[in-house]
Every structure is written in structure tokens, then in C-alpha cells.
Amino acid sequence: MIELSVLDEIIYYILRPEFFVPVIFPGLITSMILLLITIWAERKIAAKVQLRFGPLLISPRIGGLLQLIADLLKFVFSEIIVPARAFKALYILGPALLLSTSLLPLVVIPISTSIHYSLYVIGNNGAYVPIYVNFSLIAALALSMLTPIMVIMTAWATNNRFAVVGALREGFLMITYDVLLIMSAFSMAIIYGGVDLFGFVNFQSSHYLGILMNPISAFVFLVAMLLGSSRYPFEIVEADTEIVIGPYTEYSGLLFILTMGGSYIKTFVYSILFSVIFLGGWLPFSGGIGALFTVFKAIIILLFSVFLRSVYGRYRIDQALRGAWKLMFLLAIISMVLSFIWRWFLVA
Amino acid sequence: MRGCLLTERNRVNEEELKEVEIIVEPGQGQAELNIGPQHPGSGHMRLVAKIRGDIVEELVLDPGYVHRSVEKLCENRHYMHLIPLVERPTIIDSIHMNMGYIMAVEKIMNLEVPERALYLRSFAAEVNRISSHLYGLGILGIFIGHSTMFMWGFADREPFVEILQNLTGARITNSYVVPGGVRRDLSQSVKEFAIKAVSYLRKKIKDYENIFLNNPNVRARLENVGVISREKAIELGLVGPNLRASGVPYDVRKIEPYAAYQKLDFEIPVYKEGDAFARTLVRMEEVQQSMNMIMQIIKEIPEGEILNQRILKQIPPQRIKKWYEEQKRIVFPGYFASMRPPKGDAISRVEASRGELVYYVVSDGSSIPYRVRMITPSYMLIKPFMEIAKGHRIADIPAIYGSLDYFPPEADR
């Protein structure tokens, strides 16, 4: 009989996915650190392309990494101005709701198989996921679609004209990228024959990676992801030279950080979803290393999506919508057909 | 659904504050969007866009935010003291701003300019044109969200600003052109630096084509946006690259050659389309033409004085010995400040980076001009901008703005 120490017990409870995933990894704390590193990396990559150094004044030895901490501190201590004509409750609640809802899909996305610690096997139904549901693909997409509502609500509460224009753009785009995300994700579900993400990764380990089976679907998902999280070339909602910063025009200080973080975290969550659906998630590892590997793949996708800033400008809203409905929608249908062929091929 | 403007109701009571205002004007569906003057995409100007949905129904420009009353100041300064003042409205295009004024003064004084000085004027002007066009293209890039074009434009402008610094001693406010000639001579090191800068930019132009001009995103944003037809362009009085992008081959350098342009081989790029993309291409090709001209000037520049003999004789011999013979620099003594041109008036035209720049100088025989009138090219863009923005989307306002290369301080003076 092996004795379990109190420390093991505590670690067990910390490592429970119900707490660990949303709060520590890859949830709030990790994604906040990642947010800083991503913005730093975005600035550094763009600087490399654009013949500059990027942030370098603070901590030049590590390439100005602490610049973002300094910026964060500056924002934290700056005054939060609430406009007299804003709807105060929603104005203050909005950014927090935006950030928390953009993290929300993590509770149903499995990031690894269950983790072995000491004598414990930590996980739900063999997956390292806070809530195991066998329709986790639908649940994750549905939860990710809460954020546009928060954006529109926030914009309305600030009572600014640029914010309202930005919110309208978000509303138009929301309808578009939701359809594309669902169609590309479902075309993968057709190959697998189910909507369970955990099962889908296991399916990929015994067959091929999702991106190899259906690259069209992966492309559509990536474009829809860029549309949905307002990254270049679809940085339409926050277009600074047109509508200042769209729905978040009136925000300052800490609330501004929350709104800005919300959009980056949304990209990160979509990247995790992309890595699980198309890149095999934790494969070829499992357990704790698997969870790290899922997030590692997601970070690559995240860095790719922020890198596009240095290649593209931004499309106009009507061009983005036209492209999405005329080209991307068609590609999504083709990817579905491709998936049916795969399904037929696999079953036969 | 109250639609009144915020300014009309400065005092609001608590009751009213509880209601959130919706921006739609009652019964019209038209809203007013106040872009600027403190806005990332407005420059130093206020744009009032009347929008219906995403469509701009009317765009009203409100220039004057950076008005510095240069014309009025000109009536209170000596002729020589005006040289640094007239270049202030467009500091990124200061050689042209200077040259136009000096050419008008020279006409009044009936001064001949030596051949070498004419070549040097053209040299400085073309270097300045390149740096100004790269600046404008960079601004256009960031207006449509293309940050790489912005950074490249500003970075590649640097060697040309450096040439001007080596030549004139200042990066942007050069005050290089003086009555009767130029202030400094072209040295061998400046020549070598200029050759290096030109060969660098010639290589770099290909990168510009790859990432900006042939970028599908940029083409989608600029093609068929802000189209000005040939007739409309003439009617609206467009000037410079914007006019040439609408299919009118009009360039003061060809039509009324000044400086050394008569002896230089260059073409003026003309496009028929008249859209924002054509305007961008015209600028890009003008940069290449300017580079050719710089190389030609370096090759063909004649030897000789850089200042008119009449002026040169009035400088004390010690100064000539110390500055001109040793360092090839003109340093005027203080009494030149009270230079008195004869009575009369003169008009001068130069092709500045943004188009035709007209100076009208009236002299009453004193050391202070009676009137200096400057018609700047950006000022000619206000009406066209208002006209062509109609019917476009909000997102097109910065694209049109950037493609016109409007420079607010130049228009406001």
C-alpha cells in the first residue's frame, strides 16, 4: 500500500482540468503571458520585415521583451475614463465579459489525454478537458460565438459613433465567419463521423492528420479564424485609420487592455481548436507533454496569423464579405464534398 | 432616437444621461461621422462624413487646423528671411517651396543663375521629390493598413534625406536655394553617396512591386476607388501626379522648363484610369524618373560658379576666401537681409512633388515684399476630395485621402 502525501493531494486538485485548464494552462494565466509574448513577437516579426528593431529600449538584452510588461503597467495605472453618456454598468462589465467569453470555449476543447500524476489519472473519460461532452466541436463553436454579442453590446454601451460603426462591421462579419467556421469544422466531422473532438484526435492518430485529409477545410477554417478574431488582412472591426479602434474607441487604461486582450485570446482559442481539429492536437505525445504540444502547435498558428500583419493591408468590409460568401463559401462546400469522398473511402 | 449633435447639448441633466443616444438622424437615416482632427486617419484636418449605413453621402473637409498664416507673415519679413519661412508649409518638399519663391524674386531682380546652380537646383529638387513621394506612399500604405509599406517608405526615404543633409546641411528645412544660385556646391562625397542611394532604391523598387503594388489586397483596395475622369480632373483643377493619373500629360517641368529641366531627359508617366491605384503608380514611376535624372545630373553637371556674379561681388573678400574658396559654401553677410528688389511683380511656377506650385510676389521697392501669394498643390485637392469621396464607403476615405497625397499644412499654409 503506497501512502499519498498531502502535497500530492493538493497537486491533484490543482491539476484537475476543471481548475487547471480555464485558470492556469492554457487558460487565463498562460494566455495572459502568451498575450504579452505574442504582441512582442508580432512587433518583433513585423520589425524584422520592416527594416526596424522593434521594441528595444527596455531590456535590450532579451530583445525588449519587458517592454510589454512596462506597457501593461502603464495601462494599469492610467485613469479609466467613463464617458458621461455611456451606459455605465455595461461599459465597465463589457471588456471583462468579452475576455471571459473568449476564454470560454476552452472548457470543452480537450487539449490532451488524461494526465498521470503519482497514483492519479487526471482527466474526464480519458481526455484532459474540464467538461467532457461528446458534442464538444459544436459546444466549442457555440461558445466561441458568444464574443461578438459582447463586442456589439460593449460598442452600444460606449455610445460612440465609431464604436457603433465597428459593431455593425462585427455584426456583418459574425454571420459570415460563423458559417465558414461551422462548415469547415463540420466537413472534418463528416470524415470522422462524429462531433467529438477527443475522438477526432484519436481518429487522426490511426489515420492521417486533418490538414492532410482535407486541406481546403483547413484553409477555410484559417481564413474564418482571421475574420473572426480581427487579424490582418481582415482587421476590419478595429481598423484604426478608419474608425479609430472600432468598438473599443472610448476605452482607456485597464479596460482597454481587456478589450485588446480579448481579441488576441480569441485568436489563441481558435488556434487551439485549429491544432486539435487539423494538426492532431497532442499527437504524437500524450498526457502532460501532449497538452504542451497542443498549445505549441496553437502558438505556431497564432504567430502565423499575427505575421500576416506585415504582408497585407486590410480589406474593405464589402470585399471581405463578398470574398467570404463567393469564394470561401464555395470552398467550404467543396471541402464538404471532399470529406464525403473521404468518408466513403474510409468506410469502404 | 434623438439625433441632435453632442455640441448642441453641452449641459445635460441626470435624466437625460440615463438614455443612450443612437446616432441615426430622425427620419433620414443619415448620420454624421466626425473624423479628426485628432484621428489616426485624418492628418491635421477634420473630415465630416455624412453617412448612410456604410456609404458616404457627403464629405465635408474642414481645413485650417494647421494654418500658420505664412502669407501674412511674408508681408512682415525681409526677402532673405522669407527663405526659411516659405518652406515651412511643406517641410518634406522644402526645396520646391523654396525654389518657387526664389524664382519669383529673381524675376523681379532680373537675376541670371549660373548653369551649375541650375543643375544643382534640379538635383536637390529631384532628391526631394523622391523623399516626398516615398513619404506619401508610406502614408497611403498605413492608411489602408499596410504597415510594411509605411515603414519601408519611411526607411528608404532616409538615404535621400541624407543626401540633402550632406548637400545642404539640413535634413528637411534645407533653405538651399538663394537668390542668384544655391548655397552649397556638390562635393565628390555627396555624388558617391547619391549614386549608392540610387542603386539601392533601384533594387528595392522590385520589393515594393512584390509586396505593395502587386499585392492582391492593395489592388483590391485601390483599383476603381476614387476615380476621376480626364474631363473631371481638368474641371476640378487637379495638379501634379493626380492630374497625370487621370490621363492629362501636364507637367510644368516640360511645359515651362525651369532650372536644368530643359537639358534633362525624362518622361512624365501618365495613366488613363484616374483611380487611386493609377495615382500610386504615377508616384512610383516618378520616383524612378527622378532617379534617372539624378544620375544624369551627376554625369553632366558643368563646372562653374554656383552664385550669380552680381551677388557674389557683394560678399566681402574675407568671407569669399574663408567659406567659398575653401569649403564651396555661400555665407551671406548680415546686410543682405535688407536686400531691396526693384518695384514690380512676378509670378513663378514650379512642379512640386504634389503638383504645380505658383508664387506671386509683389515688390514695392522696400526690403519687405508687399504681397506673397502661394497657391499650393494640396490646396487644389480639397474640392476633388469632397467630390470623389461621395458614394464610396467609410473605409475608402483613408484610401482616397492617401492616394491624393494631401498634405494638410501645405494646403493650410
pLDDT for the residue numbered B134: 92
Measured between beta carbons, the chain A residues lying within 8 angstroms of B398 are: 241-242
Put simply, the answer to whether A313 touches B215 (Cβ < 8 Å) is: yes
Q: Where does B223-342 have alpha helices with state H?
A: 230-236, 240-244, 252-255, 276-300, 309-312, 317-319, 326-327
Task: Inspect the interface and report whether the beta carbons of B145 and A232 lie closer than 8 Å.
Answer: yes
- Per-residue pLDDT of B31-51, as tens digits, reads 788 887 877 777 788 888 888
Domain boundaries, chain A: 6-347
B250 within some domain: yes
| Cβ–Cβ gap B23/A164 under 8 Å | yes
Tell whether A88 is within 8 A of chain B (Cβ): no
Contact B171, B132 (CB under 8 A): no
Q: Cell numbers at residue A285, please?
A: 505525445
User: The domain that contains B76 carries what CATH number?
Assistant: 1.10.645.10
The residue among A50, A231, A241, A310 with the most chain B CBs within 10 A of its CB, best to mutate, is A241
- Find, in chain A, the residue whose alpha carbon is nearest to that of B9: A85
Q: Residue A95 is inside which H or E element, if any? A: helix A88-103
Q: How far from chain centre, in Å, is Cα B174?
A: 14
Q: Which domain holds residue B184?
A: 70-412
Contact B398 A241 (CB under 8 A): yes
**B325: closest CA of chain A, how far (Å):** 41
Residue B33 to residue B48: CA distance in whole angstroms:
6
Question: What is the predicted pLDDT for the residue at B195?
Answer: 92
Cβ contacts of B151 on chain A, cutoff 8 Å: 50-52
Q: Which of A159, A168, A311 sits opposite B21 (nearest CB)?
A: A159
Q: Name every chain A residue with its beta carbon within 8 A of the beta carbon of B155.
A: 50-52
- B1 inside domain: no
Q: What is the pLDDT of residues B97-139, one digit of tens each?
A: 999 999 999 999 888 888 889 999 999 999 999 999 999 999 9
**Distance between CA A223 and CA A126 in Å, rounded?**
32
Nearest chain B Cα distance for residue A41, angstroms: 16
The beta-carbon neighbor of B145 closest among A156, A164, A313 is A313
Chain A residue numbers with beta carbons less than 8 Å from the beta carbon of B50 are none
Residues B237-291 have pLDDT tens digits of: 888 899 999 988 888 888 888 888 888 888 889 998 888 999 999 999 999 999 9
Print pLDDT tens along chain A (348 aa): 566 788 888 888 888 888 888 888 888 888 888 888 888 888 888 888 888 888 888 888 888 888 888 888 888 888 888 888 888 888 888 888 888 888 889 888 888 888 887 777 887 777 888 888 888 899 999 998 888 888 888 888 888 888 888 888 888 888 888 899 999 988 988 888 888 888 888 888 888 888 888 899 999 999 999 988 888 888 888 888 888 888 888 888 888 888 888 888 888 999 999 998 888 888 888 878 888 888 899 999 999 988 888 888 888 888 889 988 999 999 999 999 998 898 888 887
Chain B CB contacts of A311 below 8 Å: 148, 211, 215
Cβ contacts of B51 on chain A, cutoff 8 Å: 165
pTM score: 0.87
Give the nearest chain B residue to A316 (CA atoms).
B395
For residue B9, pLDDT over 50 is answered with no
Q: Is B405:B244 a contact under the CB 8 Å cutoff?
A: no
Sequence-ordered list of residues with C-beta below 8 angstroms from that of A249, at least 6 positions apart, any chain? A158, A160, A162, A163, A166, A243
Q: With an 8 Å Cβ cutoff, are A315 and B147 in contact?
A: no
To the nearest 10°, report the CA torsion of B166, B170, B172, B174: -100
Does residue B304 contact residue B140 with C-beta atoms inside 8 Å? no
Question: According to the model, what pLDDT value does residue B130 have?
Answer: 92
What pLDDT, on the 0 to 100 scale, is given for residue B362? 92
Complex ipTM, two decimals?
0.85
Closest approach of chain B CAs to the CA of A167, in angstroms? Answer: 12
Separation of alpha carbons B228 and B404, rounded Å: 11
Quickly state the pLDDT bin for B17 (edges 50, 70, 90). Answer: very low
Residue in A159, A168, A309 closest to B147 by CB: A309
B48 domain-assigned: no
B217 to chain A: which residues are within 8 Å by CB? 233, 312-315
- Give residue-wise pLDDT tens across range A208-265: 888 888 899 999 999 999 988 888 888 888 888 888 888 888 888 888 888 888 888 8
Q: What is the pLDDT of residue A2?
A: 64
Q: Which amino acid is at A263?
A: S
Q: Do A317 and B211 touch (CB under 8 A)?
A: no
| Beta carbons of B218 and A157 less than 8 Å apart | no
Cα distance between residue B94 and residue B117, in whole Å: 17
Say if the Cβ atoms of A311 and B39 lie within 8 Å: no
Say which residue, B377 or B37, is predicted with more confidence: B377
Which residue in chain B has the smallest CA separation from A52?
B151
Query: What is the mean predicted confidence (pLDDT) over B367-394?
Result: 88
Interface of B with A in 214-233 (CB under 8 A): 215, 217-218, 220-221
Number of domains within chain B: 1
